[in-house]
Structure formats: structure tokens, C-alpha cells
Amino acid sequence: MSAQRLLVLGTGGTIAGSASSATGQSYAAGDITLEVMVANIAALDLEVELVARPIAQIGSQDIGWPQWSALHAEIAAAQGDADIAGVIITHGTDTAEETAFLLDLTLDAGMPVVMVGAMRPADAVGSDGIRNLLNAIRVASDPRARDRGVMVVMGDTVFAASDVRKAATSNIDAFKGYPRGPIARVTPSSLDWFAPAHRIGSTKRFPWPEALPRVAILTAGAGMDAMPVQALLGIGCKGIVIAGMGQGNAPRVVLDALADAVRAGVPVVRSSRVDEGMVDRNVEVDDDALGFAAARALGPAKARVLLMLLIASGITDAGAVQAAFDGG
Ligand code: SIN
């Protein structure tokens, strides 16, 4: 039997980072080329063939429309290529949840698509990059990984794109899942699936858009006034995600300004600045009266991705936006 062929799309991040010293803290993300990373893996004589395709060599804080479009096009093409068994994306961890969720919403399930990063640069003491990459290869080449949509592999753990988030700035086990936890445990020599796909449907929920609208996340803070909302409208924001206090709350003046935004045709989604938990409708804030949608289980970063896709698809009505956040 010939070796399975996996497409590896490189974007940079700490997994491709190099440190100024093996014991220091400072490093440059995206320094090491994808070709070098793949050659290091090839030297291990695994029974897979890796096809390296660099998309970018940047820290993921700079990822945006050009890289997202390139990733989407490459994966969509791979999905139609019978010679490719799966796709791996090497990516910085800071925005992994955004890219993974965006791709999950806009690609059919089917072929395994696995995003992987690292918390420590490749040449640091205790680097996690090679292990995470080996784990990603194991997941992407496993037939049981099919039909699960986009997954994120970090720290011997596999998460669904809809659940995953970065929950720590520097711990090696920085990723968590909410509302569902990991769907598999993986090591370079084992893979145990113990949960279903956690994905809505097997076909994409949204077409790939022509462009993404400007949608901002506004973090609520005690004592703030309405001017930040007015400023966002002033620069032409087409949607606002409020990262609110607790259950997605904000000072009265801010809620009133956001309700004005809704009346002006700018959809508003309430999420929470708290790390974990649901934001439900009409708990403390009267969403029905003010015209807001509640982000439910999605944190601000993922809520922004979903709102951008909704607006790009012409969906701005509060009821339809809420239905999408409810999973409809
Ligand atoms: C980045 O997101 O590119 C930097 C941080 C990381 O990859 O862990």
C-alpha cells in the first residue's frame, strides 16, 4: 500500500518560531520555513508523504483575509483531489480559533482538516512543536477523522473548531473546549476518539464570501460611556460584538447606544468578556426590546467570525442572526 499523502499548509506562528536563546523567553514567530519543518518530519521515516505548501510565514496576529482566502482555496481544491487524504495547517496559536472556525463554517466536512500550533518555539527547551505536528499527522491520516470538520490539535488533545479557544498565554496546555471538551486524545503512537463531531451538518454553512465586512469587538468596562460605540459606527463598522460583563452585560448608556446601532441597521451580538460560559437571551438584558442577539456558547472572537459571515451573506435581521448563533 502506498503512503498516505497529506497536504501541509504553513502560515507561521510559534510552531515555526525560533528563540534567541534556548532558555530565554523572547522569540520570533514564523522564522522557520515550512520546507525545513517538513524535512525534519520526513527524516523520522513516517509512513506518510507530506506535501508542503507555504501560505505565509507570519505570526497569527497578522492573519487575515489574504491568508484565509488562500487557505480556503487550497483546502477546497484538496477536497476534490483523490490523492490527498487530509490537510494540516500550521498556525500561530493566538488566532487559531478564528481561522479554524471560519474554515469550519465555510468548508464541507469530509476530508480531515487539522490545525496545529505550538506554545514554545522550535528551538526552545521543551519545545512542543514536533510532537504536536506528529500528533496532527496521526489525526489527519486517520480515516475516523473524516466528517468531523476542522479540528485543532494541541498538547495531545483534539478539539472541534466550534469549541476550541486559547485559554492561557503561555502554558503548554493552553487550549480548552467549551461547551464541549476534547473529542480525542492523541500522542505520536496512539489516537483515541471518544466524542462525536461537534459540527453542525456535513455541508458548509456559508459560501466563501467575496469579502468580509468590518466587525469590531468592543470590550465593556466599568464606568465606560457611549463614545466607543459611536466611534465604531463612525468608522463604518457593519456589526458589533460586545464582549460584555458577566452574562454579556454593559453600562446602560452603552446598551442604549448599541440599541441605536441596531436601529441604524448594524447588528449587535452580546458575548462575554468572562473566559467561559453561556450568554443567553433576555436574562439581564432585554434583547427582545433592544434588538440584540446573544452569542450563546461562542466567545467574542468566534462570535465576530460568525457575524462577519452572516453580514457577508446579507443576514442582518436580529431574529436570523440569533437563529445562526443558536445553531440554525
Ligand atoms: C502566533 O499566534 O503566531 C504567536 C503565538 C503562537 O503561535 O503561540
End-to-end CA distance of the chain: 42
**194 and 136 in contact (C-beta within 8 Å)?**
no
Q: Is the CB of 56 under 6 A from ligand 1?
A: no
> What are the backbone angles phi and psi of residue 40, rounded to the nearest 5°?
-60, -40
* pLDDT bucket at 22, cuts 50 / 70 / 90: confident
CA of 27 to the centre of ligand 1 (A): 10
Among 91, 93, 154, 166, which residue has the most ligand 1 atoms within 8 Å of its CB, making it the best to mutate?
A: 93
The full set of domains in the chain, from first to last, is 4-193 (3.40.50.1170), 215-325 (3.40.50.40)
Task: Kindly state the helix (H) or strand (E) to which residue 243 belongs, with its residue range.
Answer: strand 239-244
Question: What CA–CA distances, in Å, run from 66 to 36, 71, 211, 238, 272?
Answer: 23, 9, 10, 20, 29
pLDDT tens by residue, 199-209: 889 999 999 99
* pLDDT bucket at 59, cuts 50 / 70 / 90: very high
pLDDT reported for residue 69: 98
CA of 34 to the centre of ligand 1 (A): 15
Among 15, 31, 60, 98, which residue has the most ligand 1 atoms within 8 Å of its CB, making it the best to mutate?
A: 60
pLDDT tens by residue, 103-145: 999 999 999 999 999 999 988 899 999 999 999 999 999 999 9
Size (the chain), residues = 328
User: Nearest residue CA, atom 8 of ligand 1?
Assistant: 93
- Average pLDDT (167-174) is 94
Residue type, 5: R
pLDDT reported for residue 328: 67
CA of 115 to the centre of ligand 1 (A): 13
**149 and 199 in contact (C-beta within 8 Å)?**
yes
Q: Is the CB of 121 under 6 A from ligand 1?
A: no
**CA nearest to 92, candidates 39, 27, 179, 43:** 27
For residue 58, give the ligand 1 atom closest to its CA. Answer: 3
- pLDDT-wise least confident of 5-19, 49-63, 65-79, 306-320: 5-19
* pLDDT bucket at 1, cuts 50 / 70 / 90: low
Q: Enumerate the active-site residues.
A: 14
pLDDT over 70, % of the chain: 99
Distance, in Å, from the CA atom of 154 to the CA atom of 175, rounded to the nearest integer, reads: 7
Distance, in Å, from the CA atom of 25 to the CA atom of 190, rounded to the nearest integer, reads: 31
- Average pLDDT (189-211) is 94
Nearest 10 degrees: Cα torsion 202, 137, 8, 57: 110
Among 18, 37, 90, 94, which residue has the most ligand 1 atoms within 8 Å of its CB, making it the best to mutate?
A: 94
Q: Is the CB of 10 under 6 A from ligand 1?
A: no
Q: Is the CB of 119 under 6 A from ligand 1?
A: yes
Q: In the sheet that 268-272 helps form, which strands lie side by side, from edge to edge?
A: 215-219, 239-244, 268-272, 293-294
Residue 299 has pLDDT above 80, yes or no: yes
